[in-house]
Structure 1
Amino acid sequence: RNEHGNALVPFNCEENPKLGRWADAQRWLYKSEHMKKERINLLNDLEFVWYKLEHTWSTNYKELSDFKEKNGHFDVPKNSPLRGWITRQKNQYKLRAQDLKNHLTEERVDALSAIGFPWPEEIVVKNQASCSEMF
Structure 2
Amino acid sequence: MHKDKLDTLGFCFGHYEALWHEQYAKLIAFQAEPGHCRVPSNYKDSALSKWVNTQRLLLDGWEEQHAKLVAYKEEHGHCKVPGSYKDRSLADWVRRQRKKYNGVKGKGEIKESRVKLLNDIGFTWRAHGHEIVPWEDRLQQLIEYKQEHRNMLVPRSYDPNPPLGHWVQSMRQQYKNGKLS
TM-score (norm 1): 0.44
Q: Which has the larger radius of gyration?
A: 2
Query: Greater relative contact order (Cα 8 A, min sep 6): structure 1 or 2?
Result: 1
Which is helix-richer, 1 or 2?
2
